[in-house]
């Protein structure tokens, strides 16, 4: 049976995607920084592995445990919501280190074996913020836009080896822990610069008032990732969720 390695599986899109692949009969290596945070039900096809995508030794250990990887899903990522002026450069670097450079590092780790056997698929997870220039998301949006641009170019390099590189673009998903994690990170960073505080609160309220029927569920993202991983004629960039589909249509 085929094997998929998925990063960032403790909650949200990663967890749902791991469960979806298991249901489809795949062997799943579900990775997360802290395996103790795993809440997925036990399965003979599920292997929970520690992985920090910003640590080369951690990446090498996870790849060695998985063995032959047919599909890599780069889902691990961190968010940030603040004015550009109020974003410390160290925070901006941290966002890019995980969202972009961690994705590149994982790709580089699996590509030699995929190239040797001339088979494999890599699915990277971006964000529908690439379609809409929402305020206070400049750094996060830039990191995800870079993931899309990088993947599109890499796809052209890898096609000669029968390796597919694709991107899934999820919409806003308030039901996941992602928004809460962003809020916690902003709080640790000292909240918003005073000059932007009122604007930030209004922007947060607008996001929270987004109609539920226009947001994205984790199951929609999992289905899109599986489609990207398994359908030969799937688009290189695939929006997931009604708001992401609507945003893509306007491009």
User: Across the chain, what does the average pLDDT equal?
Assistant: 92
Residues 81-103 have pLDDT tens digits of: 899 998 999 999 999 999 999 99
Nearest to 80 by CA among 178, 167, 172, 176: 178
Rounded to 10°, the helix 102-117/138-158 angle is 10
What pLDDT does 60 receive?
98
d(CA 70, CA 60): 16
Spot the catalytic one: 20, 131, 140, 196.
Answer: 140
d(CA 58, CA 81): 28
What pLDDT does 190 receive?
59
What pLDDT does 160 receive?
98
Count of residues for the chain? Answer: 251
Q: Are 76 and 143 in contact (CB under 8 A)?
A: no
Rg (CA), the chain: 18
d(CA 200, CA 56): 36
Of 129-138, 185-194, 224-233, give the lowest mean pLDDT range: 185-194
Of 132-141, 163-172, 178-187, 240-249, give the lowest mean pLDDT range: 178-187
**Percent of the chain whose predicted confidence (pLDDT) is above 90:** 75
d(CA 80, CA 40): 27
Determine the average pLDDT of the residues in 215-224.
Answer: 94
Confidence of residue 181 (pLDDT cuts 50, 70, 90): low
d(CA 43, CA 24): 13
Tell me the whole-structure pTM to 2 decimals: 0.93
- H/E segment holding residue 124: strand 120-125
What pLDDT does 102 receive?
98
Does the annotation mark 131 as catalytic?
Answer: no
Q: Is the pLDDT of residue 66 over 70?
A: yes
């Amino acid at each position: 049976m085929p094997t998929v390695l998925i990063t960032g599986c403790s909650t949200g899109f990663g967890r749902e995607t791991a469960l979806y692949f298991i249901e489809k009969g795949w062997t799943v290596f579900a990775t997360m920084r802290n395996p103790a945070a795993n809440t997925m039900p036990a399965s003979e096809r599920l292997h929970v592995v520690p992985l920090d995508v910003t640590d080369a030794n951690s990446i090498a250990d996870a790849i060695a445990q998985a063995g032959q990887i047919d599909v890599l899903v780069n889902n691990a990522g961190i968010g940030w919501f603040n004015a550009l002026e109020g974003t410390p450069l160290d925070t901006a670097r941290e966002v890019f280190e995980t969202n972009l450079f961690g994705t590149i590092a994982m790709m580089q780790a699996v590509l030699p074996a995929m190239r040797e056997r001339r088979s494999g698929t890599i699915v990277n997870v971006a964000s529908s913020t690439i379609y809409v220039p929402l305020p206070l998301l400049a750094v996060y949006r830039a990191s995800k836009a870079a993931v899309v641009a990088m993947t599109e170019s890499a796809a052209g390099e890898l096609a000669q080896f029968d390796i597919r590189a694709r991107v899934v673009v999820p919409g806003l998903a308030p039901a996941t822990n992602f928004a809460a994690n962003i809020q916690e990170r902003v709080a640790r960073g000292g909240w918003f610069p005073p000059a932007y505080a009122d604007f930030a609160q209004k922007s947060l309220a607008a996001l929270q008032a987004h109609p539920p029927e226009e947001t994205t569920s984790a199951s929609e993202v999992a289905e899109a990732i599986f489609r990207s991983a398994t359908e030969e004629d799937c688009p290189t960039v695939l929006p997931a969720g009604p708001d992401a589909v609507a945003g893509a249509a306007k491009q």
